Structure 1
């Protein structure tokens, strides 16, 4: 493929999207890394480094100009290929990026930087097994470089093998006990595995040596009952008052301070801190609420009157949908406790399939929906089934809790007509307040602004109303409040909807030891609480959000 043509055409700043992973590990040029440029002419070296610098500062026009010139001089040099791959990733051409990095890896099979870049590119396509294998090669090749082990642990965590991630981190800490990133990551794995005491111990050990470690305070604040005393609150306040914190740290310590105030019953003090933390982090979110609303309307309109596909393809699949903090993790944990269920967690297979089909058709979803025939939908459904086959492990039921799967429900009814959908509902005000109190690991830009939150809730509610009108028998609404008030009744109803025989273990879901990679990792290990409302604690501060949720959207 002649990538110079694509570089020349993609000449606007809008083609550069924020990557999921930083670029510093991609281009580490410095005096000790200059040997990576061996084989390039002086002019090619200059172009490469100028393109790299422009890429770091998101200057798309300069990046593409220098990259096109570099392609003419050194199209096959491994460093050129890595640059072209980074540009492809930022342009959303993930498969092209993977192909370029494979070519670079063939030229430098022992180059751990190339292998690591390829691993991250593969992970963006949910190819975790291959990505993990590449990172294990990096660890074996350079055992003293603990960055490889940390990357491996992170990849194992993303692949839901949290015990394996914890084992890797323990090995690292055996060699370097003072390595703070490894200890923070180990604390997080303990949290996911329900080992709260161990998580606290790891965070406290970090703070004992470095009391200004924002990530440790933030990690403790995410516990269901943050273990903060008055001295802790004072320490967090001092850190929050510092003027030299970058925005990510400022927002993180702000959320932690708000939780600390809440833990001490100081909700009136917590609210302005929450407002400040959300406003700080909102500046870094690429979110357009009006555009999202338009996309939702276009998607529901594209499937209006369109029937589900024929047959039972996808039977046994349960897509759990809902806003964050709406009780979806508990619903999945209830199902996961059943011996005939394999829980897939928050998977990205479906958005990936839709994106790849859009790339193939060179049109964004849902513009191509009207042109897709039965054979196309069947092909996409078979693609999904192939991606989850190993994870399903032959179980009768498989759950997928992808956060945005509700947007694709119409497509899923064409792709996998035998699938079922659980619509997780919680009081809208409680749901939105719970989102507003949290700094999410993923890009959920709507969560940091009251207007955006209300608008997103209305989008979800309208979309689910549309899907229910079309496919009512395939959708079960589960109210969090009703579930917690009468667990036995609603758990039996849920199992019946999923064509599962009743099993007592689903009533005792909190006894499960499976790893949970969501903020509800502690909550799902406790019996259901009948009253989880907290919006009232903020009094008049939530009046505006309440009004926005009650109003009809434009």
Structure 2
């Protein structure tokens, strides 16, 4: 990025560069020594403040780092790096709005710095401003077409919006321009770009390309635990697979060099490997360790979460009982209409979306974060726990605002040529808690609830390392309690919601007779039957979920009753579910 160091003596510039390299390699003490040396020579520069801030971040002193970054930003010789680093720190501490505002200021100050435009694009994308983000990505590519950071950011944007062919192209271009040198920074960038490329291939159904990319990473950098984790998801392990021995050796022989995240990656990967082989004891040993390590990183109040789920049922008036408070919508609404596919994670939601998205009049937008975010924006972070939550959910103005904003944002995901589709799928499983709210705000919407055997569902959740969220899945007892609360809420919706708007499908029934169940789905949606739905696995589209690999295969029944070999390892789950396994 920008480097406002022309007035810094060359000797000090060399020390600056050395300090940056020490930080990248994790040598904080050496970076501090360099900082002290430069301070005596160049006491009042933005670059010095920037170095101080980065050292403070590496040392875990985030509040002090934020102040140092702010000082660097306010100096006359401020660089774009000071602003983007501050925005990164703010985002990491949950201050997304402040981070976005810092990037807006940076863009006004450094309009010709392509990396700033690219970072602002991602910040806007996180808030659902897809069109604004796209324009900034296009602009950053125009002024910085060969910049590695811009190409990576463009790939991330395209991957997030489902343009996987473009994402693969951008990541590939960045890798071609990157010379894999011995520097820590370039090695880190090589792995990061290659992992993004592998994930994009996997999500696009190009499993062989994903696997070859991952194996190339591991050939050059066998210590890349994230590459092992993703590889474990795209390959099928057999007894004697050499990959298992290599992961075990990495976990044991390099334990002192592995971070907490590294150990989580390897244990989840080994858990998957032993599940493939059929060794339940070995699999659960690694899965228990992986989940315990991940769960140790955050606080989570399962009591509060279950109470909140209960409050959604009490607060959100189902459409059948709230016709007088529904959002005002036209009798003939604009297309496409929303379909919400809901349920527990790993309950078959991705499979159902893949089948429906094969229909020529249905577009699958994937797991949109739109509704949970708008719930917070329109109804408040304290909804549905606040005393006046019921009044908020019954307000025509609130519901109309929610509907308008949801439709505006979700339809931005439609690619060119899909505008006339009859339905747009939002497959965020956790939207199950909003069913009453959905039909009050969007009375023309349809809801499809996916169900699966509770033990199979929970075991499948426990075996997966989710990209984000799903905090309830990393402890068997908490997972079971969450499932029970979800089950009670869905029973409530089942009783209250109109059948012409609310449809339920069981994973086991779908696997047993895909044609019959698919026809039921199509009939519920009022669409014509298409034989193409039975060949859903051939549909070329983006699938960004933990089941992206499975839906590229024809229907199979190996996931039925999958829990039985693990019966002796699941007592905390059985107790929480109040189930006595036979």
- Same fold by TM (over 0.5)? yes
Structure 1 equivalent of residue 375 of structure 2: 354
Q: Deviations over 1:422-456 (max 9, x none)?
A: 11111110011111111111122111110121122
Separation of aligned partners in 2, 1:432 and 1:247: 24
Separation of aligned partners in 2, 1:130 and 1:455: 41
Q: Deviations over 1:210-229 (max 9, x none)?
A: 32322222111112624784
Paired residues of 2:478 and 2:576 also in contact (CA < 8 A): no
1:177–1:426 distance in 2 versus 1, CA, 3 Å: farther
Structure 1 equivalent of residue 10 of structure 2: none
Separation of aligned partners in 2, 1:147 and 1:85: 16
Separation of aligned partners in 2, 1:278 and 1:464: 27
Counterpart pick for 2:231 among 202, 220, 230: 220
1:64–1:145 distance in 2 versus 1, CA, 3 Å: closer
Q: What secondary structure sits across from 2:448 in the alignment?
A: strand
Q: Number of matched residues?
A: 516
1:235–1:81 distance in 2 versus 1, CA, 3 Å: closer
Q: What secondary structure sits across from 1:508 in the alignment?
A: helix
Following TM superposition, by how much is the alpha carbon of 1:383 offset from its aligned partner in structure 2, in angstroms? 1.2
Following TM superposition, by how much is the alpha carbon of 1:270 offset from its aligned partner in structure 2, in angstroms? 1.5
Counterpart pick for 1:536 among 558, 561, 564: 564
Structure 2 equivalent of residue 119 of structure 1: 121
1:224–1:231 distance in 2 versus 1, CA, 3 Å: closer
Q: Which runs of 5+ in 2 are unaligned?
A: 1-23, 25-30, 36-41, 181-189
Q: What secondary structure sits across from 2:424 in the alignment?
A: strand
Structure 1 equivalent of residue 322 of structure 2: 307
Paired residues of 2:317 and 2:440 also in contact (CA < 8 A): no
Pairwise CA RMSD:
3.5
1:64–1:371 distance in 2 versus 1, CA, 3 Å: farther
Q: Deviations over 1:390-430 (max 9, x none)?
A: 43422101110113211222221221011111111111100
Q: Which runs of 5+ in 1 are unaligned?
A: 1-23, 34-39
Q: What secondary structure sits across from 1:295 in the alignment?
A: helix
Following TM superposition, by how much is the alpha carbon of 1:282 offset from its aligned partner in structure 2, in angstroms? 1.3
251-260 or 137-146, which deviates more? 137-146
Following TM superposition, by how much is the alpha carbon of 1:139 offset from its aligned partner in structure 2, in angstroms? 4.7
1:517 and 2:544 correspond: yes
Following TM superposition, by how much is the alpha carbon of 1:99 offset from its aligned partner in structure 2, in angstroms? 3.8
Q: What secondary structure sits across from 2:429 in the alignment?
A: coil
Structure 1 equivalent of residue 184 of structure 2: none
Structure 2 equivalent of residue 439 of structure 1: 465
Q: Deviations over 1:43-84 (max 9, x none)?
A: 99998877776677776765788899999999x997886687
Following TM superposition, by how much is the alpha carbon of 1:535 offset from its aligned partner in structure 2, in angstroms? 1.0
Bigger-Rg structure (1/2)? 2
Structure 1 equivalent of residue 389 of structure 2: 369
Following TM superposition, by how much is the alpha carbon of 1:198 offset from its aligned partner in structure 2, in angstroms? 1.8
Q: How does 1:249-264 map to 2 (within 5 A)?
A: 249-264=262-277
Structure 1 equivalent of residue 477 of structure 2: 451
459-468 or 329-338, which deviates more? 459-468
Following TM superposition, by how much is the alpha carbon of 1:345 offset from its aligned partner in structure 2, in angstroms? 0.4
Separation of aligned partners in 1, 2:79 and 2:379: 31
Separation of aligned partners in 2, 1:170 and 1:209: 17
Following TM superposition, by how much is the alpha carbon of 1:206 offset from its aligned partner in structure 2, in angstroms? 2.0
Structure 2 equivalent of residue 496 of structure 1: 523
1:487–1:239 distance in 2 versus 1, CA, 3 Å: same
Separation of aligned partners in 2, 1:467 and 1:166: 41
Separation of aligned partners in 2, 1:516 and 1:245: 31
Separation of aligned partners in 1, 2:62 and 2:115: 24
Counterpart pick for 2:290 among 277, 289, 297: 277
Structure 1 equivalent of residue 454 of structure 2: 428
Following TM superposition, by how much is the alpha carbon of 1:138 offset from its aligned partner in structure 2, in angstroms? 4.0
Following TM superposition, by how much is the alpha carbon of 1:385 offset from its aligned partner in structure 2, in angstroms? 1.1
Structure 1 equivalent of residue 309 of structure 2: 296
Separation of aligned partners in 2, 1:256 and 1:43: 47
1:358–1:79 distance in 2 versus 1, CA, 3 Å: farther
